[in-house]
Amino acid sequence: MSEIGRRHFLYGAAAAVAGVMGTGCTPDDLTGSSGPDGVPVIAVDAQRRSFTVSPFMTGVNGAKWYDDAYGMWDPKHNRPAPGIVGKIKKAGIGMIRYPGGTSSNLFNWKGAIGPQADRTRQVEAQEGVPVDSRFGPDEYMAFMREVGATPEIMAPFANSTPDEIADWVAYMNAPQGTTWGDLRARNGHPEPYGVRYWEIGNELHGENQRYWMSADDDKAMRQYAFGGTQRQKRQRVGTPTDHRPSAAVSNGQPNQSFTVWYPPVVPKSQTIRVDEDTWREVADLASAGADDPVYTFDPRSGRIRFGDGHHGEVPRKGSEITADYDSGPHAGFVDYYTKMKAVDPTIEVLAIWAPIEDGKPAGGKSFPELMAEHGHADAYDGMAIHPYTNFSRDLKATSFPDKQAGHDYQMLGERAAAKMVSDLIAQVRAHGKDRAYVAVSECGALFFGKKNDSKDYPEYSYAMSHALYMASQWARFADLGVRWTTGNGLIGKKPGLQRTLFGGAPGFVTTPEAIVREQLSDFFHGGGHVVASEVKGNTEVSTRETPLGSSYEALVTNATVDKDGTLNLLVVNRSPEDDIKSRVELESSQHATTVDVSVVAGRSYHDFNDAEHPDAVTIEKSRATAHGTSLTWSFPAHSVTLLQFSPEKAGATSSDKKRTSHA
């Protein structure tokens, strides 16, 4: 990395939330102020380049794999559902994460390949319900080919082994002539898929996603890193495909079989109870009497088998089966990394232990510190973080006091979310290997849980406010050198709208966020570099007092230069009511006099698209004339504006240039 690039990175990581709006800024840039007329100045130096622009910045966390990916897959014709492919392409989505987040933490990839009739049911990891495996890895990759996106896979940790996930890497990437390459070919795809990006687990640091791991944060982090064994107490049993409470209840029939949730089990460590009565393990039920309260147990699979009333008692109907046991020994991230890289050294394997509390990274020892301390600083290629704005956690809010608060809370939280990412970057750079990086595999602004109230602004997660939030995140993440971002969900599970990029099937309504992604397609797919920019004398938007402050900067910017020389300036005006006049200073820029302009705003910050009004928010395109390198521009309230200055020597406008492929 050049010295300018290194200074840009380190300062950007430290200053992302220190009142420096814009990208590519270094301490030398901060001596300026607003113009003589008091308006903000957006200063761009097109000669000072830093990071390569990532075409994966506006990726998305995929829909759930079950229920045909919430209607995104057409199982009858074995293809993407009509209407979704064109919309994904139009939105310029460069990456899609699979099989998803929390619900996928117990995903069994081997049960989701091959003929549909041979596939297994799955355990949905959030509710424990059984779900189908129709949209498996091969269907996912067929979908990727249709939409032209790059795959990113979240490999589950809680119920898998390093060998199983290494087999998955081989199935996706090994050539024919190997065991897994040949199986993939028999399943209809002879050529390797070449999946490069992998992460191990999803939010396992969260209290509700520990699975077999300890409730103690530090111990759980060590277990994630290096593996271990953990005592489970009074845990309901179930089946390999069902963890609901009902799956632990006896039906009164002979020869019932159950499994503990998280095998393997340390032999002889288990205590099995039928209601409050402890039953006894035997090697063989054939020698048991009719009334003996006994069972057989397989430590490897965690399977419990009861008798038939002749050889071993049958648990009475309605009784609940629970288990105490030592779950393990389990492998840790280092083992996964080693096995996966042995199969394909070209893949990148990311760790996910990046806990957050109160709108900032959790205190105590970090995962990068732990890995370095144990001599494994080189045993991860990067880290994935989920820098959500959680209104309850970060702003101590259980409701929106009014509609504008719903908007303001997102903008306040967005600044804190960028700080979470910059802090993790600093940790990785301090303790990881030279080329280790940070990616964002989920992000957004949300109420989490069922007791929170958004009735004053129920559309907040799919209205213009959230599009402004996400555009601000992309601008800051690009400044920080984030390699890829898969934010939000792709589609909803029902017709209508929710916290997703598109509405549910069959309409797939395009949200303002998807419109902004389309607008910024050239910006992120132009194959160029981030260049230095900053906002001097930024306008502040005042809010009510919150734990994250009482004001936020109105303007967030980023600037890039494409490989063809086009200068792109992104300006996000988050002010809910006010247009903001600014002076744009294009230092060291030689550009044509014609500027291509696109604006996404809607009539208000709470505008959104729905089935009845699918075009309430659209892209407004125009051209303007720019003489010289100092321009005065008015950026509309609650808007995302993209200004594109073609290079002077070409004399061309952005409509003349060839679009870069999204693939």
Q: Do residues 418 and 377 touch, judged by C-beta distance below 8 A?
A: no
Residue 409 is predicted with a pLDDT of 97
Neighbours of 576 (CB within 10 A): 20
Residue 9 is predicted with a pLDDT of 30
52 to each of 4, 5, 55, 198, 559, how far by Cα in Å?
Answer: 14, 11, 9, 21, 12
The number of CA neighbours under 13 Å toward the Cβ of 576 is: 21
Cis peptide upstream of residue 99 (ω within 30 degrees of 0): yes
Helix, strand, or coil (residue 275): coil
Least confident of 10-14, 74-78, 230-234: 10-14
Pairing of β 294-298 and β 277-281: parallel
As beta bridge partners, residue 157 has none
Percent of all residues in the chain with a pLDDT value above 90, rounded to a whole number: 83
The 10s digit of each residue's pLDDT in 572-595 is: 999 999 999 999 999 878 888 899
Categorize the per-residue pLDDT at 395 as very low, low, confident or very high, splitting at 50, 70 and 90.
very high
The 10s digit of each residue's pLDDT in 33-67 is: 556 567 999 999 999 999 999 999 999 998 789 99
Whether 303 has a pLDDT exceeding 60, the answer reads: yes
Intervals of CATH 3.20.20.80 along the chain? 59-224+331-526
b vs e for 1-23, b when ≥16 Cβ sit within 10 Å of the residue's Cβ?
eeeebeebbebbbbbbbeebbbb
Q: Do residues 517 and 93 touch, judged by C-beta distance below 8 A?
A: yes
The 10s digit of each residue's pLDDT in 532-556 is: 999 999 999 999 999 999 999 999 9
Categorize the per-residue pLDDT at 196 as very low, low, confident or very high, splitting at 50, 70 and 90.
very high
Token pair belonging to 1:
């990395």
Residue 35 is predicted with a pLDDT of 61
CA distance 528 to 565: 8
- Which single residue is written with the structure tokens 């090697």? 283
pLDDT, average across residues 429-446: 96
Among left, alpha and beta (phi > 0; psi -120 to 50; other), residue 180 is: alpha
Helices 333-343, 217-226: crossing angle, 10 deg rounding: 20
CA distance 253 to 405: 57
Least confident of 23-37, 46-60, 371-385, 550-564: 23-37
CATH topology of domain 59-224+331-526: TIM Barrel (3.20.20)
Residue 93 is predicted with a pLDDT of 96
Whether 29 has a pLDDT exceeding 70, the answer reads: no
Residue 589 is predicted with a pLDDT of 80
Categorize the per-residue pLDDT at 7 as very low, low, confident or very high, splitting at 50, 70 and 90.
very low
The 10s digit of each residue's pLDDT in 464-511 is: 999 999 999 999 999 999 999 999 889 987 777 788 899 989 899 999
Categorize the per-residue pLDDT at 463 as very low, low, confident or very high, splitting at 50, 70 and 90.
very high
CA distance 560 to 644: 10
The 10s digit of each residue's pLDDT in 605-663 is: 999 999 999 999 999 999 998 888 899 999 999 999 999 999 986 444 444 433 322 22
Helix, strand, or coil (residue 479): helix
Residue 37 is predicted with a pLDDT of 67
Task: Kindly calculate the radius of gyration of the chain based on its CA atoms and give it in whole angstroms.
Answer: 27
State how far Cα 234 lies from the chain centre. 33
- pTM (2 d.p.): 0.91
Average pLDDT, rounded, for the chain: 90
Categorize the per-residue pLDDT at 358 as very low, low, confident or very high, splitting at 50, 70 and 90.
confident
Give the max Cα distance, the chain: 96
